[in-house]
Homo-oligomer: A and B are copies of this chain.
Amino acid sequence: MRIEMAEFGLRGGEERVDATLAVVRALDACRNSRERTELIFAEGRYDFHPERATEFAPSITNHDQGGTRKTGFPLTCLRDFVLDGQGAEFVFHGPMIPFWLERSSDISLRNFTVDWDRPMFEQGIVTEATDTSFDFRLPPDVPYEMRDDGLYFEFGGRRLPVWGLHDIDPVRKTHAYGSGDRLSWSSFRKLKLQEIEPGLIRVTGELRHLPEPGHAITMRFGRRENPGFFVNGCANVAVENVTLHHAPGMGLVAQRTAGLTLRKFDVKLKPGSGRLVTATADAVHFTNCRGTIRIEDCLFENQLDDPCNVHGVYVRIVEKVADDKLLVRFEHEMTVGLEFAGPGDALKFVSRDSLLPYASATVRSWLPVNAELALISFDGPVPEEIGERDVLENETWNPDLLVRGCTVRANRARGFLITTPGKVLLEGNTISAPGAGIKLSGDANSWFESGAVRDVTIRGNTFRDCNYCWPDWGRAVIDIDPEIEEPERHPAAYHRNIRIEDNDFITYAPALVYGHSVDGLTFRGNRIRESGSYPTREGQETAIELRAVTEADFSGNRFERAGQSALLNGEEVPL
């Protein structure tokens, strides 16, 4: 069945009517159809406002929690559904989640652009800098308010305080060398912002970084609440030929979803807009998914966080309430309310210190108690001995990952964050980040992100200038750092089988790989050239530094500058 939005009064004209309710009606018609449905938009602009938008109360992984959200496209309980924008431009106003997919399967979204009328960030230009202050000018057309406690901008009818600044190099259009988060988060709280004349802001206080005149300052405000796409409990979702210019949250976030393909899904700056930020958090983020996550021919640039993160979640065991029942808690406030497990899932019991599994069990039921707590019943008794603060990991919900032909660049933080035991292949991508280009971590301390890798191939990629905000966000281009104290002390490694082959590293600093707690690491056939893009800096001086690593192979690499070496479990090895 083919449904044209024109049947619901939307013809993509220039009237800028609120399209929200017509889309709700069209989707309701699609939901009632028993056959494959294609919903077709005519090319043109469609505006979406919160007033008549569908409201829901989600728990969105790695976003700020609580309250309700509004969405433009409530793609819930749909089967075999295609949305074809035919080049349409969907423009959102204020806090909204453009696409909400839940309990839907075989969904294809294609051929459209998503943007905001006014994005949830602002930017200015540095006019002057001294040793103890810098000034920047706000754009003339943006309303702002200076209060005693800071600088406020409006988003969605609310005044929100700026809580972070970023120094952006106007030529490279990315975070300035060495800037990192040194004017943001806790460092921002030690700064003082004053209006010295209308539209001109002076920054003083404990300046940990000094931007140069001519540089841009991007300003962060608001909470991380509204991703561009929120995919929850779905199967077989494809997003193709879609461009997202902004989101007041991540670009796309998926959780407990089986099979997801992104092809020509670009999170990119809006041409001609002069903007320097796209999404205000990660471009794409996957928590406890399974099947294959396929990311092909995508561009992820200028987000205010990582381009891609694939991981599971560790939940903490609070109490054994019966032989076959555990009370568990989500330890990170941004993961509360997740559907961590379901009947039939295999869970692993993981020692908190070593992060090594010591038992597994099959779930009979998952009963959420409140946002933080849930009761898990198992098919049989759980282990007699459970260590204090041990965690559980879901073995069933872990995806394979294929990333091919993508470009990531100019965002804040790292490149690809990968913690999944599934088969991982990154091939033919171009990767640049102010931190590590690839990070394989895992921890049960802060983010509680699970997923020791078992089979990772990083092949034929080009790494261009990573870690230019060192020491923020990573030690080396490829940073393997599961959060395990004294990894040498444990009987087995956390990660396994990481192959880094046939890549080009074009880099201003020597550090290519840092890693610990790995069984089987191959760095072979790579080509390393110097970029000279940035001044030399401190930090890891060898190309490779590994601790608690077994079965390492460093053969056949070509270094532009001879005499490079690796530090393997404390011993220097020539490369």
Contact = CB atoms under 8 A, between A and B. Distances in A.
A68 interface: yes
A371 B370 CA distance: 22
A422 to B, nearest CB: 32
Interface of A is mostly: mixed
A28 B368 CA distance: 11
Contact of A21 (B21, B53, B369): B369
A375 B54 CA distance: 11
Contacts of A321: 21, 25
A370 B327 contact: no
Interface in A324-375: 325, 327, 365, 367, 369-371, 373, 375
B371 A55 contact: yes
B371 A52 contact: no
B53 A375 contact: no
A373 to B, nearest CB: 6
A370 B53 contact: yes
A367 B24 contact: yes
A70 interface: yes
Given A28-B375, A67-B67, A21 B52 contact: no
A369 B54 contact: yes
**In the complex, which range does the number of interface residues on chain A fall in?**
20 to 34
A325 B370 CA distance: 37
Q: Which of A25, A57, A66, A365 has the most CB of B within 10 A?
A: A25
A171 interface: no
Nearest to A22: B321
B57 A369 contact: no
A562 interface: no
A302 to B, nearest CB: 32
A321 B327 CA distance: 48
Contact of A322 (B25, B52, B371, B375): B25
A150 B54 CA distance: 39
Given A70-B370, A370-B70, A24 B375 contact: yes
Contact of A371 (B68, B365, B375): B68
A534 to B, nearest CB: 48
Given A21-B321, A21-B369, A24-B369, 19 more contacts: A21-B327, A21-B375, A25-B321, A25-B325, A25-B375, A28-B367, A28-B375, A52-B327, A52-B373, A53-B369, A53-B370, A54-B370, A55-B369, A55-B370, A55-B371, A57-B68, A66-B67, A67-B67, A68-B370
29 contacts: A21-B321, A21-B327, A21-B369, A21-B375, A24-B367, A24-B369, A24-B375, A25-B321, A25-B322, A25-B325, A25-B375, A28-B365, A28-B375, A52-B327, A52-B369, A52-B370, A52-B373, A53-B369, A53-B370, A54-B369, A54-B370, A55-B369, A55-B371, A57-B57, A57-B68, A66-B67, A67-B67, A68-B371, A70-B370
